[in-house]
Structure 1
Amino acid sequence: MTVLYDAQCPLCRHVRGWLERQWQLVPLEFVPAGSAEAARRFPDLDHARTLREITVISDVGEVYEASDAWLVCLWALKGRRATAYRFSTPTGARLARGAVLAAAKWREATSPTVNGKEGVRPTAQGRAGRTPADASPSTPVGPWTWNGKSWQPSAPTAEPCGEHCAPPPG
């Protein structure tokens, strides 16, 4: 998975460092948002938006923003999947969104400009599973998708069972 982050933001750089130091079950690759590399690799993305919100792109092209991006990052880490599952439930999602809003406010308060642009404010909007050509209201977490009422398998798998064989709690 590729994580687009604001390389000019001290909080974003700190979180990137923390994520890099964790044991990753799914490799995370970090690319500065708004960079030439990001534009080359993901030409269909709104790169101005990626400078305002953490954005994660899966290996199959799914785009996650804000709290959904944080959930996907947690899900990628060993020992953090249960936390990602808890935050992906309706109640947990409100908590995750609140944390992202608090981080955005802190970022706004500690930086007179965002990416050198006066008046650009970070936002905490997003929808999991949004792709450049399509938007999905569901929330995928690993091989499971929360449809607003219950967990459903995203796709049948022939792989041997591991920690992903049972749906997330909630």
Structure 2
Amino acid sequence: MSTPVRGLTVLYDAQCSLCVHLRSWLLRQRQLVPLDLVPAASDEAKRRFPRLDHSRTLREITVIGDRGQIYTGPAAWVVCLWALAEYRPRAHWLATPAGQPFVRVTMLAAAKYREATASGAAAGTPCDERCSVPG
């Protein structure tokens, strides 16, 4: 018997304009499962989740379920959509083999956007580790 997820914590990069925009968007949606959005690698995140690799949470979206489930990469994007009333059916489809390529393309596009908008990118300096393309 599986225990239902009753809440999710989304760790987001508070220094990334795309991440901050998506945080705001998530908060405006009707949630079937409550989402708690916490800046990645913040004191609060480190206090709540001391065993996480917090530098990794700045490079890759990380979502933690109320029972300790950890979702990263494509699974994290899908579980965020699954928590939303309007997007749950789409999340079910995105979790299938047919939908997984769409999740991958979306993640690659987001990584490219982050790379292009990271501080210093416009000045020609290399992007730091936060811009890496998800595995």
TM-score, normalised by the number of residues in structure 1 = 0.68
**Aligned position for 1:18:** 25
Structure 2 Cα separation of the partners of residues 90 and 3 of structure 1: 24
Which residue does 2:132 correspond to in 1? 122
Give the Cα–Cα distance (whole angstroms) in 2 for the partners of residues 123 and 48 of structure 1. Answer: 15
Query: 1:96 aligns to what?
Result: 103
Tell me, in whole angstroms, the C-alpha distance in 1 between the residues paired with 2:78 and 2:120. 27
Q: 1:19 to 1:90 in 2, by over 3 A?
A: same
Q: What is the aligned-residue RMSD (CA, Å)?
A: 1.7
Q: Is 1:60 the counterpart of 2:70 in the alignment?
A: no
- Residue 80 of structure 2 corresponds to which residue in structure 1? 73
Q: Which amino acid is 1:111 matched to?
A: A
Change (3 A) 1:113 1:69: farther
TM-score, normalising length: structure 2: 0.85
Aligned counterparts, 1:134-145, within 5 A: none
- 1:105 equivalent to 2:92? Answer no
- State the 4+ residue runs in structure 1 displaced beyond 3 angstroms: none
Q: Which structure has greater helix proportion?
A: 2
Secondary structure of the structure 2 residue equivalent to 1:25: coil
Give, in whole Å, the separation in 2 of the partners of 1:101 and 1:36. Answer: 29
The one of the two structures with greater contact order (alpha-carbon pairs below 8 A, sep at least 6) is 2
Q: Higher Cα Rg: structure 1 or 2? A: 1
Count of aligned residue pairs for this structure pair: 123
Q: Distance in 2 between matches of 1:111 and 1:22?
A: 27
Distance apart, 1:118 and its partner CA: 5.3
Flag the 1:103–1:2 CA change in 2: closer, same or farther, 3 A: same
Measured in 1, the distance between the counterparts of 2:12 and 2:78 equals 15
Maintained 8 Å contact 2:118/2:127? no
Gaps of 5+ in 2: 1-7
Question: For 2:99, what is the secondary structure of its paired residue?
Answer: helix
Q: Gaps (5+ residues) in structure 1?
A: 126-170
